[in-house]
Amino acid sequence: MKIGILTLPLHINYGGILQAYALQTVLTQMGHEATLIDLQEVNISKRPFWWMLLAYGKRAVRKYVLRRKDVVIFRERKWKKELPVIGRDIHRFVEQNIHPHLKITSLYSIQPDDFDAFVVGSDQIWRPKYFPYIEEAYLQFAAGWPVKRIAYAPSFGVSQWEYTEQQTGVCGALLKRFDAVSVREDSAVALCDKHFQVSATHVLDPTMLLPISHYQELIAKGDTHPSDGQMLTYILDGSDQREEKNKIVSYLSQTLGYKAYTVDHVRYNQPNAPLEQCISPSVEQWLRGFEDAQLVITDSFHACVFSILFHKPFVVFANKNRGVARLESLLKIFSLTDRIVTSSQELIDKRDLFSIPWQEVDRIHDQWKQQSIRFLQSSL
């Protein structure tokens, strides 16, 4: 079967790239011809004028009032020129490992007979904040086509409803045409039922459908080097609550005697650094960061996923303003919600961070993986 996978555009986002890679790999292993549809330059980054004023105002307050190291004016044109250099090694992984890979500027260039089925997902493609043309994430461009329509593990990102009344009506009608609907979070099951009147199945993120040996093979084939430390820190949020997160890293580093290292994008944290020093680590190096770690400190959903897959003790900092639904949903599956902290004091008061029953985690993982794969197989 010819399948088109519709997900978020592939930028320099490790989790976003790996979930797309994993879903395509799983579908290919099932015997299908799975093509990743990568939407290029469709003004997704453009925001209304009021949004830009608000964003600049917030960053100005952080920099000039709170004295934080924020960049007030985001130099979009300069960033676009820098991106090919910064993401050089990440783009190499995409070109070498994600194929067929259809790069298009409009979903309306796809013809009715190009695919037998569409799979929408995973990641936060159902969040208007990240995919402003939200109706297309429900296959509006393919309305009326005689194709299978499947949602595999898309995420709303948060537990509160962010759609307008019009978006709710249009997307709900489109979703009712789907042959099978699954979502990545338990909260999304409730949201689909309440706002769309559609029943959804809770499944695993695609990255958790591949065995750990698969990622170890990617690391072995990649040009990687040993990580410089024992404690991996992977923090996605910018200056918001950065001080509290730094306290957590400092406390654990001093208490455990671990040297902290990161596999992050230098340009995000050091906007004025020379460009040649800002090339992001490769996807394989990012994975090796987890393989080498003795402890992981993060605020990232996919960092939690790979900490679990690599059997690494971890602490996840939950920013309630950013949304914790995806973190809570994932960790509830494995009874690991005690990994979540919201402050350095909360971490200090916690019990042993290294006591994780990995055998039980693996048993649950295997059960959920089988259920998730069965969902895909039966849907197709």
pTM flag (> 0.85): yes
Q: Tokens standing for 222?
A: 């990649």
* CA–CA distance, 136 with 127 (Å, rounded to integer): 12
Domain residue spans in the chain? 2-46+78-209+367-379, 221-358
Contact status, residue 141 vs residue 110, Cβ threshold 8 Å: yes
Section 307-321 average pLDDT = 89
Helices 212-221 & 283-292 angle (0-180, nearest 10): 120
Is there a shared CATH topology between the 2-46+78-209+367-379 domain and the 221-358 domain?
Answer: yes
Section 353-378 average pLDDT = 97
* CA–CA distance, 364 with 357 (Å, rounded to integer): 11
Q: Cα separations (Å) of 310 from 94, 138, 211, 221, 296?
A: 22, 34, 10, 18, 11
At residue 270, the pLDDT reads 66
Q: Tokens standing for 334?
A: 């494995």
Q: What pLDDT digit, counting tens, does each position of 181-224 carry?
A: 999 999 999 999 999 999 999 999 999 999 999 999 999 999 99
* DSSP conformational letter for 209: G
Q: What pLDDT digit, counting tens, does each position of 327-345 carry?
A: 999 999 999 999 998 887 8
Amino acid code (one letter) for 24: Q
Q: What pLDDT digit, counting tens, does each position of 240-255 carry?
A: 567 788 888 898 999 9
Q: Where are the beta strands (DSSP E) in the chain?
A: 2-6, 33-39, 101-104, 117-120, 148-151, 180-183, 201-202, 231-234, 260-262, 295-298, 314-317, 340-341
At residue 44, the pLDDT reads 40
Beta strands 101-104 and 117-120 are: unpaired
* CA–CA distance, 15 with 302 (Å, rounded to integer): 5
Topology of the domain covering 221-358 = Rossmann fold (3.40.50)
Task: Please name which of 227, 232, 184, 215 lies closest in space to residue 310, comparing C-alpha atoms.
Answer: 215
Q: What pLDDT digit, counting tens, does each position of 109-158 carry?
A: 999 999 999 999 999 999 998 998 899 999 999 999 999 999 999 999 99
Confidence check: pLDDT of 43 > 60: no
Confidence check: pLDDT of 369 > 90: yes
Task: Please name which of 3, 212, 10 lies closest in space to residue 120, comparing C-alpha atoms.
Answer: 3
What CATH number labels 2-46+78-209+367-379? Answer: 3.40.50
Confidence check: pLDDT of 48 > 70: no
